[in-house]
Amino acid sequence: MSIRKIAIAFIFCMLASFPAVATPTWDTFGDNVTENNLRAFTKDLGGLIGSGTYTTGRILGWGGFQIGPRAGMLFKMSQGLGSTEDEKNHTALGDRDEVGAVFSPWLQADIGLPFRIDGFIRASSYDGLTIAGGGLRWGVTRPSEVLGSFQPMLVVAAHSATAKDFSATHYNASLVLSMKFKYFVPYVGGGVDYTTVTVGNGVASAAIRGEREYAATARATAGFNFKLPSYMDLSLAANYAHYGMGAEASLSLRF
């Protein structure tokens, strides 16, 4: 079996396994959020929402179009404040070990515009968390099909999110660099997620009802994009943010 077929099969398995290993927990926020874990939750949420805004460092080009499902996952939420390990491991969604991985799928549509600009919109509604937003990508250089050529790209995005006991706004800016190969395009990117979480008035902790938490955190991404027959596009990436390691995957139709 070729390396390409092995990579494709691995990506399909990753896409299928994300929901199985992740534990949906958004509705538990109201019972678990405290002053100690709110800031860590804000950073984790920002990293999760900001993942998957790009699957290569190459723009679509004028008239290009891409649409399909994507997903992001953090393997374990980050620790909060506290004087004991139990306090630190009590996250805004529950015990850190019991919550485990946190998963978020969405649908994204991209379109190529003039002046080396792509526009995209994305939306998600999964287990009580609704996310909507979009952004722009700008190719720093003109796209090239020459093997081994580098393609740098800038990405900016904005999102809003709502759940039972909180709402959030998210802004992101990233720089991405990819290299053209015959069967795949590896890419690396780095950026900053700036997130605001507003706590609802129905949470158990009276001390933070209606409070707002602001947090900025860096996120790095490295992945591979595979162009397949029938205009299909597959991507798999790992990222690293405040929560530690995370993963991203996408399967889309690209023209």
Task: Give the pLDDT confidence of 64-92 residue by residue, as tens digits.
Answer: 899 999 999 999 999 999 999 999 999 99
User: Which residue did the predictor score with more confidence, 1 or 112?
Assistant: 112
Calpha distance 31→165 (Å, rounded): 9
Q: What is the DSSP letter of 40?
A: H
pLDDT at 143: 79
Q: For 142-169, what is the mean pLDDT?
A: 92
pTM, rounded to two decimals: 0.87
Question: Which pLDDT does position 12 carry in this prediction?
Answer: 47
Q: Which residue has the higher pLDDT, 203 or 229?
A: 203
CATH 3.40.91.10 fits 3-254, yes or no: no
Cβ atoms < 10 Å from Cβ of 162: 16
Query: Phi and psi at residue 226, in whole multiples of 5°?
Result: -120, 125
Q: Give the C-alpha separation, 117 to 136, whole Å.
A: 7
